[in-house]
């Protein structure tokens, strides 16, 4: 879960806001933003975790999987519910 102590958030929110600015305001980046995000997240994980064992790599993959599930749970499922109501259920 991405729920960290509120006292820790400001520094990370500042970094996140700067990255958001770079990805959305630079015309050279806009059409490459997902590749750049992939690069940024990958290099951040490798530098921050410094994996040296299979277990480290599995923890990284588990973290990425949790991120995927959290985005689906918090964002995508709400979008799907909205579209189901607008267009009727499949079955």
Domain boundaries in the chain?
1-50, 51-91
Residue 47's pLDDT is 94
The H-assigned helical ranges of the chain are: 9-25, 33-49, 54-71, 77-87
How does pLDDT run along the chain (91 residues), one tens digit per residue?
678 999 999 999 999 999 999 999 988 887 899 999 999 999 999 999 999 999 999 999 999 999 999 999 999 999 999 999 999 998 8
Residue 8's pLDDT is 94
Which residues lie closer than 8 Å to 49 by C-beta, 6 or more apart?
A: 56, 59, 60
Residue 1's pLDDT is 62
pTM attached to this predicted model: 0.80
């Amino acid at each position: 879960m991405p729920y960290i102590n509120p006292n820790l958030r400001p520094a990370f929110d500042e970094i996140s806001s700067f990255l958001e600015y770079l990805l959305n305001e630079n015309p050279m980046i806009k059409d490459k933003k997902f590749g750049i995000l992939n690069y940024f997240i990958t290099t951040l994980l490798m530098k921050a975790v410094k994996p040296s064992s299979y277990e480290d790599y599995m923890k990284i993959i588990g973290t990425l999987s949790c991120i995927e599930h959290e985005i689906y749970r918090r964002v995508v499922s709400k979008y799907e519910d909205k579209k189901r109501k607008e267009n009727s259920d499949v079955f």
